[in-house]
Amino acid sequence: MTRADTSRPTLGHLVDGFRRMAPLSLFVIVFGLAFGVAALQQGLSAFETLLMSGLVFAGAAQFATLELWGDTIPLLPLVAITLAINARHLLMGAAFYPHLRDLPSGRRYASLILLSDANWAMAMTGETTAARLGILVGGGLALWSTWMIGTGLGVAFGSGISEPDRFGLDAIMGCFLLAMLVGDKRDLGVLLPWGAAALAALAAMAWLPPHAHVIVGALAGGVVGLLLPPPRKEAAP
Protein backbone atom coordinates (compact mmCIF):
# COMPACT_ATOMS: atom_id res chain seq x y z
CA MET A 1 0.00 0.00 0.00
CA THR A 2 1.79 3.09 -1.18
CA ARG A 3 -1.25 5.25 -1.78
CA ALA A 4 -0.46 8.81 -0.80
CA ASP A 5 -2.55 10.45 1.89
CA THR A 6 -4.23 13.06 -0.23
CA SER A 7 -7.43 14.48 1.18
CA ARG A 8 -9.02 14.36 -2.28
CA PRO A 9 -11.23 11.33 -2.50
CA THR A 10 -11.39 9.76 -5.93
CA LEU A 11 -13.97 7.51 -7.53
CA GLY A 12 -11.77 4.61 -6.42
CA HIS A 13 -12.21 5.61 -2.77
CA LEU A 14 -15.98 5.71 -3.25
CA VAL A 15 -16.06 2.27 -4.86
CA ASP A 16 -13.81 0.95 -2.11
CA GLY A 17 -16.13 2.40 0.55
CA PHE A 18 -19.15 0.90 -1.19
CA ARG A 19 -17.50 -2.53 -1.27
CA ARG A 20 -16.40 -2.39 2.35
CA MET A 21 -19.94 -1.59 3.47
CA ALA A 22 -21.60 -4.09 1.11
CA PRO A 23 -21.64 -7.13 3.45
CA LEU A 24 -23.47 -5.28 6.23
CA SER A 25 -25.69 -3.51 3.71
CA LEU A 26 -27.22 -6.85 2.75
CA PHE A 27 -28.69 -7.11 6.23
CA VAL A 28 -30.19 -3.64 5.81
CA ILE A 29 -32.45 -5.13 3.11
CA VAL A 30 -34.30 -6.95 5.87
CA PHE A 31 -34.58 -3.77 7.97
CA GLY A 32 -36.03 -2.01 4.93
CA LEU A 33 -38.41 -4.88 4.26
CA ALA A 34 -39.66 -4.70 7.84
CA PHE A 35 -40.21 -0.96 7.43
CA GLY A 36 -42.04 -1.35 4.14
CA VAL A 37 -44.39 -3.94 5.64
CA ALA A 38 -45.03 -1.88 8.77
CA ALA A 39 -45.63 1.36 6.82
CA LEU A 40 -48.20 -0.26 4.52
CA GLN A 41 -49.99 -1.67 7.55
CA GLN A 42 -50.06 1.85 8.98
CA GLY A 43 -51.92 3.05 5.88
CA LEU A 44 -49.15 4.80 3.97
CA SER A 45 -49.15 4.20 0.23
CA ALA A 46 -46.30 2.37 -1.49
CA PHE A 47 -45.14 5.64 -3.07
CA GLU A 48 -45.18 7.53 0.24
CA THR A 49 -43.28 4.72 1.96
CA LEU A 50 -40.59 4.65 -0.72
CA LEU A 51 -40.38 8.44 -0.72
CA MET A 52 -39.87 8.48 3.04
CA SER A 53 -37.17 5.82 2.97
CA GLY A 54 -35.43 7.59 0.11
CA LEU A 55 -35.50 11.12 1.51
CA VAL A 56 -35.31 10.54 5.25
CA PHE A 57 -33.05 7.44 5.26
CA ALA A 58 -33.11 7.08 9.04
CA GLY A 59 -34.56 3.73 10.05
CA ALA A 60 -34.87 4.26 13.78
CA ALA A 61 -36.74 7.57 13.36
CA GLN A 62 -38.94 6.16 10.61
CA PHE A 63 -39.98 3.23 12.79
CA ALA A 64 -40.48 5.40 15.86
CA THR A 65 -42.77 7.92 14.11
CA LEU A 66 -44.74 5.29 12.23
CA GLU A 67 -47.78 5.44 14.48
CA LEU A 68 -48.18 9.20 13.85
CA TRP A 69 -49.26 8.69 10.23
CA GLY A 70 -53.04 8.69 10.11
CA ASP A 71 -55.81 10.86 8.67
CA THR A 72 -54.16 13.79 10.38
CA ILE A 73 -50.46 14.09 11.09
CA PRO A 74 -49.34 15.84 14.30
CA LEU A 75 -46.35 17.87 13.18
CA LEU A 76 -44.87 18.73 16.56
CA PRO A 77 -44.47 15.12 17.74
CA LEU A 78 -43.21 14.20 14.26
CA VAL A 79 -40.47 16.83 14.39
CA ALA A 80 -39.69 16.26 18.08
CA ILE A 81 -39.25 12.48 17.79
CA THR A 82 -37.27 12.80 14.55
CA LEU A 83 -35.03 15.39 16.17
CA ALA A 84 -34.56 13.40 19.38
CA ILE A 85 -33.58 10.19 17.62
CA ASN A 86 -31.42 11.82 14.95
CA ALA A 87 -29.69 14.33 17.24
CA ARG A 88 -26.85 11.82 17.54
CA HIS A 89 -26.00 12.78 13.92
CA LEU A 90 -25.04 16.23 15.21
CA LEU A 91 -22.35 14.69 17.41
CA MET A 92 -21.25 12.22 14.75
CA GLY A 93 -20.90 15.02 12.21
CA ALA A 94 -18.95 17.14 14.67
CA ALA A 95 -16.54 14.26 15.31
CA PHE A 96 -16.11 13.78 11.55
CA TYR A 97 -15.51 17.48 10.86
CA PRO A 98 -11.67 17.27 10.84
CA HIS A 99 -11.88 15.03 7.77
CA LEU A 100 -14.19 17.46 5.95
CA ARG A 101 -12.30 20.61 6.84
CA ASP A 102 -10.42 20.92 3.56
CA LEU A 103 -13.38 20.32 1.27
CA PRO A 104 -15.23 23.21 -0.38
CA SER A 105 -18.47 23.71 1.49
CA GLY A 106 -20.70 22.37 -1.31
CA ARG A 107 -18.96 19.01 -1.30
CA ARG A 108 -18.63 19.12 2.48
CA TYR A 109 -22.37 19.33 3.06
CA ALA A 110 -23.17 16.99 0.18
CA SER A 111 -20.91 14.34 1.77
CA LEU A 112 -23.16 14.36 4.84
CA ILE A 113 -26.44 13.57 3.05
CA LEU A 114 -26.14 9.83 3.67
CA LEU A 115 -24.42 9.94 7.07
CA SER A 116 -25.77 7.18 9.30
CA ASP A 117 -24.53 5.04 12.18
CA ALA A 118 -22.88 2.26 10.20
CA ASN A 119 -21.03 4.20 7.51
CA TRP A 120 -19.96 6.87 9.99
CA ALA A 121 -18.62 4.27 12.43
CA MET A 122 -16.70 2.53 9.65
CA ALA A 123 -15.49 5.81 8.17
CA MET A 124 -13.96 6.77 11.52
CA THR A 125 -11.73 3.69 11.22
CA GLY A 126 -10.45 4.67 7.74
CA GLU A 127 -6.70 4.95 7.19
CA THR A 128 -6.62 8.25 5.31
CA THR A 129 -8.89 11.25 4.96
CA ALA A 130 -9.73 10.20 1.40
CA ALA A 131 -10.52 6.65 2.54
CA ARG A 132 -12.74 7.99 5.33
CA LEU A 133 -14.67 10.18 2.90
CA GLY A 134 -14.95 7.28 0.49
CA ILE A 135 -16.46 5.08 3.19
CA LEU A 136 -18.83 7.82 4.38
CA VAL A 137 -20.22 8.50 0.90
CA GLY A 138 -19.66 5.16 -0.86
CA GLY A 139 -20.73 3.20 2.20
CA GLY A 140 -23.71 5.53 2.56
CA LEU A 141 -24.71 4.75 -1.02
CA ALA A 142 -24.46 1.02 -0.30
CA LEU A 143 -26.69 1.38 2.76
CA TRP A 144 -29.14 3.68 0.98
CA SER A 145 -29.43 1.30 -1.99
CA THR A 146 -30.17 -1.75 0.15
CA TRP A 147 -32.52 0.27 2.38
CA MET A 148 -34.47 1.20 -0.77
CA ILE A 149 -34.38 -2.35 -2.16
CA GLY A 150 -35.65 -3.62 1.19
CA THR A 151 -38.40 -1.00 1.41
CA GLY A 152 -39.38 -1.84 -2.16
CA LEU A 153 -39.60 -5.55 -1.40
CA GLY A 154 -41.62 -4.74 1.72
CA VAL A 155 -44.21 -2.66 -0.13
CA ALA A 156 -44.32 -5.09 -3.06
CA PHE A 157 -44.76 -8.32 -1.13
CA GLY A 158 -45.62 -6.89 2.27
CA SER A 159 -49.15 -8.16 2.59
CA GLY A 160 -47.96 -11.74 2.57
CA ILE A 161 -45.24 -11.36 5.18
CA SER A 162 -45.74 -11.01 8.90
CA GLU A 163 -43.33 -8.50 10.36
CA PRO A 164 -39.85 -10.02 10.27
CA ASP A 165 -37.93 -10.45 13.50
CA ARG A 166 -36.19 -7.13 13.90
CA PHE A 167 -34.69 -8.23 17.15
CA GLY A 168 -32.13 -10.53 15.61
CA LEU A 169 -31.24 -7.75 13.20
CA ASP A 170 -30.70 -5.26 15.97
CA ALA A 171 -28.15 -7.69 17.39
CA ILE A 172 -26.31 -7.73 14.05
CA MET A 173 -26.17 -3.93 13.98
CA GLY A 174 -25.00 -3.94 17.60
CA CYS A 175 -22.18 -6.37 16.80
CA PHE A 176 -21.13 -4.29 13.80
CA LEU A 177 -21.04 -1.01 15.72
CA LEU A 178 -19.18 -2.67 18.59
CA ALA A 179 -16.58 -4.09 16.19
CA MET A 180 -16.09 -0.60 14.74
CA LEU A 181 -15.83 0.85 18.23
CA VAL A 182 -13.22 -1.61 19.46
CA GLY A 183 -11.34 -1.23 16.16
CA ASP A 184 -7.62 -1.13 16.66
CA LYS A 185 -7.68 0.78 19.92
CA ARG A 186 -4.65 -0.02 22.02
CA ASP A 187 -4.66 2.52 24.81
CA LEU A 188 -6.78 2.06 27.89
CA GLY A 189 -7.35 5.81 28.19
CA VAL A 190 -10.65 5.42 26.33
CA LEU A 191 -12.12 3.21 29.04
CA LEU A 192 -12.96 6.06 31.40
CA PRO A 193 -14.92 8.15 28.87
CA TRP A 194 -16.62 5.03 27.54
CA GLY A 195 -17.55 3.88 31.02
CA ALA A 196 -18.97 7.31 31.77
CA ALA A 197 -20.91 7.21 28.49
CA ALA A 198 -22.42 3.82 29.35
CA LEU A 199 -23.39 4.88 32.87
CA ALA A 200 -24.85 8.20 31.71
CA ALA A 201 -26.81 6.43 28.96
CA LEU A 202 -28.22 3.98 31.53
CA ALA A 203 -29.17 6.82 33.87
CA ALA A 204 -30.84 8.70 31.01
CA MET A 205 -32.78 5.59 30.02
CA ALA A 206 -34.07 5.33 33.58
CA TRP A 207 -34.88 8.96 34.30
CA LEU A 208 -35.00 11.05 31.13
CA PRO A 209 -37.48 11.10 28.21
CA PRO A 210 -37.11 8.37 25.59
CA HIS A 211 -34.27 8.70 23.05
CA ALA A 212 -32.26 11.11 25.25
CA HIS A 213 -29.76 8.43 26.26
CA VAL A 214 -27.50 8.61 23.19
CA ILE A 215 -26.92 12.34 23.47
CA VAL A 216 -26.51 12.27 27.24
CA GLY A 217 -24.09 9.33 27.09
CA ALA A 218 -22.03 10.80 24.26
CA LEU A 219 -21.72 14.21 25.91
CA ALA A 220 -20.79 12.63 29.26
CA GLY A 221 -18.05 10.62 27.55
CA GLY A 222 -16.80 13.74 25.80
CA VAL A 223 -16.66 15.73 29.03
CA VAL A 224 -14.72 12.98 30.81
CA GLY A 225 -12.30 12.86 27.88
CA LEU A 226 -11.88 16.62 28.15
CA LEU A 227 -11.13 16.46 31.87
CA LEU A 228 -8.59 13.65 31.60
CA PRO A 229 -4.95 14.69 31.35
CA PRO A 230 -3.91 14.85 27.69
CA PRO A 231 -2.25 11.65 26.44
CA ARG A 232 1.47 11.71 25.86
CA LYS A 233 2.30 12.56 22.29
CA GLU A 234 2.34 9.50 20.09
CA ALA A 235 2.76 9.15 16.39
CA ALA A 236 -0.21 10.75 14.68
CA PRO A 237 -3.01 8.18 14.28
Partner 1 sequence: MTLTAANGGVLLAIGLMALVTYLTRAGGVFVMARVPIGPRVERFINAMAGSVLVAVITPMAVNGDGGARMALVATAGVMLVLRKPLPAITAGILTAALWRLVAS
- Residues between 127 and 166 that touch partner 1 (CB under 8 A): none
Among 14, 40, 82, 129, binds partner 1 (CB under 8 A): 82
Residue 29 or 200 having the CB closest to partner 1: 200
Taking the chain, what is the end-to-end CA distance rounded to the nearest angstrom? Answer: 17
Among 46, 153, 208, 224, binds partner 1 (CB under 8 A): 224
Does residue 28 belong to the site contacting partner 1 (CB under 8 A)? Answer: no
Q: State the binding string over 7-26 for partner 1 (x if CB under 8 A, else -).
A: ----------------xx--
Are 179 and 81 a contacting pair, CB within 8 Å?
no
Among 48, 128, 145, 164, binds partner 1 (CB under 8 A): 48
Of 1-9, 11-19, 114-122, 126-134, the segment contacting partner 1 by CB under 8 A is 114-122
Are 224 and 192 a contacting pair, CB within 8 Å?
yes
Of 2-10, 30-38, 142-150, 195-203, the segment contacting partner 1 by CB under 8 A is 195-203
Of 4-12, 28-36, 151-159, 192-200, the segment contacting partner 1 by CB under 8 A is 192-200
Residues 84-113 binding partner 1 (CB under 8 A) are: 86-98, 100-101, 105, 108-109, 112-113
Does residue 174 belong to the site contacting partner 1 (CB under 8 A)? Answer: yes
Nearest-5° Cα angle at 88, 87 to 89 = 85
**Shortest Å, Cβ 195 to partner 1:** 8
| Burial of residue 37, with CB atoms counted within 10 A of its CB: 0-12 exposed, 13-18 middle, 19 or more buried | buried
Q: CA separation (Å) from 118 to 27, 106, 174?
A: 12, 23, 10
Of 6-14, 144-152, 153-161, 220-228, the segment contacting partner 1 by CB under 8 A is 220-228
Residue 15 or 95 having the CB closest to partner 1: 95
Nearest-5° Cα angle at 97, 91 to 101 = 165
The count of other CB atoms within 10 Å of the CB of residue 161 is 13
176 vs 169: CA distance, rounded Å: 11
* Angle, in degrees to the nearest 10, between helices 46-56 and 140-157: 170
Among 58, 130, 137, 143, binds partner 1 (CB under 8 A): 58
Name, in order, each residue with C-beta under 8 angstroms of 209's C-beta and a sequence gap of 6 or more: 84
**Shortest Å, Cβ 36 to partner 1:** 15
